[in-house]
Amino acid sequence: MTIQRICKKDDVPELGSMKQFDLKESEFLVVNTGRTVLLPRGSMAPMQLAPLAEGDLDGDILTCPWHYSQFRVSDGSVVRGPANNPLNVYDITR
Ligand code: FES
């Protein structure tokens, strides 16, 4: 397993907040749900480049700003389409 430093714990301090970070030409969305999770941009295949950081976060549900698919942040599952594929979700090591 590879560990990469994306941000500091205090960079996304508020419960229910999210922020995008860049690392090695990739973009990652860090979401503070109490159990902070990481969503790599492009994980919404085949709709790969949606700017999820511009989406709406309501509790554990993230709504994509482009076609309004909804995902459960805790496990990446699709709550409402048109997306068919879940998001890739990774836990943050503090
Ligand atoms: S790009 Fe996210 S729902 Fe279509």
pLDDT digits (tens, 9 = 90+) for 33-82: 876 676 766 555 555 567 888 999 998 999 999 999 999 988 889 999 99
The ligand 1 atom nearest the CA atom of 69: 3
Residue (of 7, 6, 53, 12) closest to 33 by Cα position = 12
Q: Sketch out the chain's domains with CATH numbers.
A: 16-91 (2.102.10.10)
Mutate to test the pocket of ligand 1, among 67, 71, 80, 87 (most ligand atoms within 8 A of CB): 67
CA dihedral 65, 58, 48, 12 (to 10 degrees): 110
Which pLDDT belongs to residue 57? 93
pTM above 0.85?
no
Residues in contact with ligand 1 (CB, 6 Å cut-off):
44, 47, 50, 64, 66-67, 69, 82-83
Which pLDDT belongs to residue 45? 54
